[in-house]
Amino acid sequence: MEVDEDEVVAEEVELPSVVYAAPFIEGMEEEGDAQAFVAVATIPDPVLSFLRNFQQAVLDRSVWELHGIYEGAFNKLTEKFYQKSSWPSPDAVAGVFTDEDPILLILYKELYYRHVYSKMQPSLDDRFNSYANYCDLFNYILYYSTEPSDLELPNQWLWDIIDEFIYQFQSFCQYRLKLSNKGDAELESLKERPDVWNVLNVLNVLYSLIQKSCINEQLSVSKNGGDMGAAAGDFGSRPLYRMLGYFSIIGLLRVHCLLGDYAMALKMMENVELSKKGLFARVTACHVTTYYYVGFAYMMMRRYTDAIKAFVNILLFLSRTKQYHTRSYQFEAISKKSEQMYALLAICVSLSPQRLDENVHTLLREKYGEHMNKMQKESEESLPVYEELFLFACPKFISPSLPRSDGSATAHAPTMHQLNVFLAEIRQQALVPTVRSYLKLYTTLPVTKLASFLELTPEQTRTELLAYKHKTRQRRWEGAGALLDGEPAGPADLDFAVRGKAGDMIHVQETKPGRRFGDWFIRHIGKFDETIAALERSGAVGKQ
């Protein structure tokens, strides 16, 4: 199902309102107070201290304090106390908070349910309650008052809110397709609540945040050399709204890719300048996500050169800043995404061979050299390799529609559909690598001779030559304008024309790029310095 951006209007889809319960029951005479106090008593002292500091930092709107609490204290306490269990329940924590500001419990629930998804297996109630809490959070930010909220959160947390919101939506779409392992009560609950994690509600949240923050208007003004603040308005001038709006653009890029609408995914990035260091670079996970989905969308649209540029750009960034990522709590996620991008890069380079950065090319050969050699062969041998790499590196696609009652749809069906579309494209250009290898050996070549090499008739060979021309001609983005823009161009290193009175002679023109001697010397000088430093540390040579 493709979702048209013009059909999703923020005012048309209402977010379900969730009534806030009182944070805790006052007085000792109420039934259940004893249970609440017992629950609080079981919370370890370091966690109680964390919760009180968390409350104070939120109420003081102290971004710096929240940054340390969010990225440091929360993860350390999780490792110490809650590796295999959930954090204290929101009901218990409500008894710890002494202020009635609803955002305190909403933010704690966001952390609580994210931990449940990360470390445990969420139940259906967890999925419903987490969705309700996200509705509370976005209602608070978007509609709590006619004035902008004074809430401030670290950029990393704001990105994680959008990222986790989409992840839980994706997880729920896959969960509800698994009908075989669900009981009647669970199936009935799913039927009664079609609004929970509904695709239109999810899109509405993201579009509403973009609209409220005026982020597209701000980016458009900035793109044309103006001042972003002039187009920000009351809401967009606040960091909370500006960053949530910006991250929602990246979120929509991801959602549309998960739905298989790659043109719409790239259209969402219309005002984002990848050629410059944008707001996405402030959070490494956002930076990686942006380039991963842009590159994947390009690949599925058969724009392999643009996909290669996107993957090489981010892989170079990750290799140069690797020492900083090892200290991040998201190191494993970033490393996995990096491995997936190397697999996608191997696919793209096999389909559209071209020169890469030396460092990236070396690592690519180490990881997928054997796979790339197999992908250069004819389809029967190469298809399983393409399939293996695609399934490893692609996102987990989703179906936005409700499952059929007959159970014919499965959680893997959307991914298998995208795989079949991709493999159909690969089959269409099965002979392209073989044709290319023969053309590189000649400057002129009779069609009949090439036909004998390919074991085809001359007519079939002309068809394959036409297919080669068509499949190697791609639209290319030149670094300016929208990501969907670009001019069609053939391969830069090899071109040919069929001439002669009978159209029976192939004239080949090959362009060999010059070697980059400077890069070679710089790389080996660096290796030499590393060797000398290692010898000095070992005492094998004396310091000069």
pLDDT at 544 over 60: no
Confidence band for 22, pLDDT divided at 50, 70 and 90 = very low
Confidence band for 277, pLDDT divided at 50, 70 and 90 = confident
Question: DSSP string spanning 11-34?
Answer: GGSPPPP-PPPPSS--SSSSTTHH
Residue 134 CB contacts under 8 Å (≥ 6 apart), including other chains? 110, 165, 168, 205
Rounded distance between C-alpha atoms, residue 408 and residue 395, angstroms: 22
Model confidence pLDDT, tens digit, residues 358-397: 888 889 999 998 998 888 876 667 889 999 999 999 999 9
pLDDT at 220 over 50: yes
367 vs 30, higher pLDDT: 367
In 42-154, alpha helices (H): 45-60, 63-68, 74-81, 90-94, 102-119, 124-143
Q: Which residues are paired to 380 by β-bridges?
A: none
Q: Where is average pLDDT lowest: 211-220, 334-343, 467-476?
A: 467-476
Average pLDDT of the residues in 325-341: 80
Q: Which two tokens stand for residue 388?
A: 């293996």
Q: Where is average pLDDT lowest: 1-5, 59-63, 330-334, 436-440?
A: 1-5
Confidence band for 330, pLDDT divided at 50, 70 and 90 = confident
Rounded distance between C-alpha atoms, residue 44 and residue 78, angstroms: 12
Model confidence pLDDT, tens digit, residues 138-196: 999 998 778 888 899 999 999 999 999 999 999 999 888 887 777 888 888 888 888 89
pLDDT at 240 over 60: yes
Confidence band for 253, pLDDT divided at 50, 70 and 90 = very high
**Residue 389 exposed, middle or buried by CB count within 10 Å (0-12, 13-18, 19+):** buried
Helix (H, G, I), strand (E, B) or coil at 496: strand
Average pLDDT of the residues in 78-88: 90
Residue (of 266, 524, 489, 300) closest to 395 by Cα position: 300
Confidence band for 25, pLDDT divided at 50, 70 and 90 = very low
Rounded distance between C-alpha atoms, residue 347 and residue 106, angstroms: 43
433 φ, ψ (degrees, to nearest 5): -60, -35
Residue (of 439, 440, 457) closest to 448 by Cα position: 457
| Secondary structure in 3-state letters for 160-175 | HHHHHHHHHHHHHHHH
Order across the sheet with 505-510: list the strands: 444-446, 505-510, 494-499
Q: What are the helix and strand counts (H, E) for the chain?
A: 25, 5
Residue 385 · residue 371 · CB < 8 Å: yes
276 vs 26, higher pLDDT: 276
Confidence band for 416, pLDDT divided at 50, 70 and 90 = very high
Highest mean pLDDT among 118-122, 479-483, 521-525: 118-122
Residue 315 CB contacts under 8 Å (≥ 6 apart), including other chains? 338, 341, 342, 345, 360, 363
Rounded distance between C-alpha atoms, residue 64 and residue 183, angstroms: 47
pLDDT of 288 reads 92
298 vs 19, higher pLDDT: 298
Residue 103 · residue 58 · CB < 8 Å: yes
Rounded distance between C-alpha atoms, residue 137 and residue 59, angstroms: 16
Query: Computed over its alpha carbons, how large is the radius of gyration of the chain?
Result: 28
pLDDT of 130 reads 95
Helix (H, G, I), strand (E, B) or coil at 505: strand
C-alpha dist (Å) from residue 247 to 138, 238, 240, 329, 398: 14, 14, 11, 20, 21
Average pLDDT of the residues in 407-431: 84
pLDDT of 429 reads 83
**Residue 250 exposed, middle or buried by CB count within 10 Å (0-12, 13-18, 19+):** buried
pLDDT at 484 over 80: yes
pLDDT of 168 reads 95
pLDDT at 26 over 70: no
pLDDT at 28 over 70: no
Model confidence pLDDT, tens digit, residues 285-294: 999 999 999 9
273 vs 491, higher pLDDT: 273
Average pLDDT of the residues in 474-490: 82
Helix (H, G, I), strand (E, B) or coil at 456: coil
Confidence band for 534, pLDDT divided at 50, 70 and 90 = confident
Average pLDDT of the residues in 428-443: 86
pLDDT at 45 over 80: yes
Q: pLDDT above 70 covers what percent of the chain? A: 87
Model confidence pLDDT, tens digit, residues 497-506: 888 766 788 8
Average pLDDT, the chain: 83
Helix (H, G, I), strand (E, B) or coil at 42: coil
Exposure letters 362-388 (e unless 16+ CB within 10 A, then b)? ebbeeebeebbebbbeeeeebbebbee
373 φ, ψ (degrees, to nearest 5): -65, -40
pLDDT of 36 reads 53
**End-to-end alpha carbon distance in the chain:** 68
Average pLDDT of the residues in 348-354: 88
Residue 394 · residue 418 · CB < 8 Å: yes
Exposure letters 67-98 (e unless 16+ CB within 10 A, then b)? bebbbebbeebbeeebeeeebbebbbbbbbbe
Residue 111 · residue 69 · CB < 8 Å: no
pLDDT at 27 over 60: no
Exposure letters 441-450 (e unless 16+ CB within 10 A, then b)? eeeebebebb
Highest mean pLDDT among 37-46, 433-442, 515-524: 433-442
Give the strand pairing for 444-446 and 487-489: unpaired
Rounded distance between C-alpha atoms, residue 388 and residue 280, angstroms: 31
Residue that has been written with the tokens 């008739």 in this structure? 457
pLDDT of 30 reads 47
Residue 542 CB contacts under 8 Å (≥ 6 apart), including other chains? 536
